[in-house]
């Protein structure tokens, strides 16, 4: 019963916090560029406004175009529900498997690429083809990271991985490599700066924006919310695997949950701040250099797995 309550609280929490994280990163970024920036709550207002607006749909759009945003949002939300954010004792803990989360995010991406091509505009096609090109490197890298972490912790279940990191904290070179690789994958997956710029609509470089160009109204709101939740998922994933301190244990008391929630908030904002710091200190890459960038992640994941075989436990 309590697990169910925690699970429900977590699902609401990720939904409520995701636009806040996005607004926070935008605000900090603007401040770092010496601009004032929109208020932190602006993403909520944008979403409300979009939901109230009329949805304009192209004449030749199919049913896929209309149902796509909901599928993307649903897959991303389920992935977010599986990652332990403030407590490990969740109802769906048994399903909170790293491979399952990767697959859920991958299917969200699949739908996004499909709806990008549905209307048949050239921008959507470009965006989808680029997204798939990045995905063909980012997903193997993610799988290598999963292998490394799973070999170290002896499980692919997030709650047991978090438990492992909490109990035997040590300097493991493989885990360090996996962390760097996961950060690179997260940056690429969330269309952040060296890979894609979330703030522009420049024809030559846009990837994510190109795919959602045809959407408006409530459909666009769903996609934007899904993108915000995805950013939250990756930050939570990194926090849960590598920095699980403060996570409330299963069947903890109320104080443990409060500590967990506070620690989670701190982790989110630290993660968002570091992301912005990285973004403002680096230039956007050419599209054709992105495979090199993602190749680094793939290489680090592979190296992490290889180095495990000369380490202590094997």
Of 102, 195, 98, nearest to 154 (Cα)? Answer: 98
Binding status of residue 307 toward another protein by CB under 8 A:
yes
Residue showing tokens 């697959």: 103
Query: What is the per-residue binding string for another protein in 241-280, x denoting contact by CB under 8 A?
Result: ----------------------------------------
Cα distance between residue 86 and residue 265, in whole Å? 9
State the nearest-atom distance from the C-beta of 310 to another protein, in Å. Answer: 4
Binding status of residue 12 toward another protein by CB under 8 A:
no
- Identity of the residue, 67 or 136, whose beta carbon is nearer to another protein in the bound complex: 136
Which one of residues 72, 115, 177, 231 is an interface residue with another protein (CB under 8 A)? 177
Contact 50, 217 (CB under 8 A): yes
Contact 207, 134 (CB under 8 A): yes
Contact 197, 189 (CB under 8 A): no
**If 0-12 CB within 10 Å is exposed, 13-18 middle and 19+ buried, where does residue 268 land?**
buried
DSSP annotation string for 185-218 = HHHHHTT-TTT--TT---TTT-SHHHHTTT--HH
- Identity of the residue, 251 or 311, whose beta carbon is nearer to another protein in the bound complex: 311
Window of 79-87, 186-194, 266-274, 302-310 that interacts with another protein by CB under 8 A: 302-310
Binding status of residue 136 toward another protein by CB under 8 A:
no
Q: And the tokens for 199?
A: 């703030």
Cα distance between residue 195 and residue 205, in whole Å? 9
Query: What is the per-residue binding string for another protein in 153-172, x denoting contact by CB under 8 A?
Result: -----------------xxx
Binding status of residue 303 toward another protein by CB under 8 A:
yes
Binding status of residue 184 toward another protein by CB under 8 A:
no
Binding status of residue 302 toward another protein by CB under 8 A:
yes
Binding status of residue 9 toward another protein by CB under 8 A:
no
Q: 3-state DSSP call for residue 120? A: coil
Window of 4-12, 88-96, 174-182, 251-259 that interacts with another protein by CB under 8 A: 174-182
Residues that bind another protein (CB under 8 A): 170-174, 176-177, 291-292, 295, 299-300, 302-303, 306-307, 309-312
């Amino acid at each position: 019963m309590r697990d169910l309550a925690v699970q429900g609280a977590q699902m609401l929490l990720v939904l409520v916090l995701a636009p806040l994280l996005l607004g926070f990163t935008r605000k900090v970024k603007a401040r770092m560029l010496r601009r004032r920036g929109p208020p932190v709550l602006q993403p909520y207002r944008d979403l409300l406004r979009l939901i109230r607006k009329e949805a304009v749909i192209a004449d030749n759009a199919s049913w896929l175009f209309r149902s796509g945003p909901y599928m993307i949002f649903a897959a991303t939300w389920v992935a977010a529900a599986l990652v332990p954010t403030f407590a490990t004792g969740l109802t769906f803990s048994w399903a909170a498997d790293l491979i399952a989360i990767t697959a859920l995010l991958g299917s969200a991406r699949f739908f996004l690429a499909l709806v990008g091509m549905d209307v048949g505009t050239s921008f959507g096609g470009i965006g989808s083809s680029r997204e798939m090109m990045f995905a063909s490197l980012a997903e193997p890298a993610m799988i290598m990271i999963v292998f490394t972490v799973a070999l170290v912790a002896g499980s692919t279940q997030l709650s047991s991985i978090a438990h492992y990191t909490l109990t035997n904290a040590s300097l493991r070179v493989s885990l360090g490599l996996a962390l760097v690789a996961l950060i690179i994958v997260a940056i690429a997956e969330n269309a952040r700066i060296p890979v894609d710029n979330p703030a522009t609509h420049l024809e030559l470089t846009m990837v994510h924006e190109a795919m959602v160009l045809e959407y408006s109204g409530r459909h666009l709101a769903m996609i934007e919310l899904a993108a915000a939740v995805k950013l939250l998922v990756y930050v939570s994933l990194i926090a849960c695997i590598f920095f699980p301190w403060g996570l409330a244990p299963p069947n903890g008391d109320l104080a443990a949950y409060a500590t967990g929630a506070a620690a989670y908030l701190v982790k989110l904002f630290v993660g968002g701040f570091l992301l912005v710091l990285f973004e403002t200190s680096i230039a956007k890459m050419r599209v054709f250099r992105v495979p090199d960038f993602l190749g680094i992640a793939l290489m680090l994941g592979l190296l992490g797995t290889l180095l495990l075989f000369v380490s202590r436990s094997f």
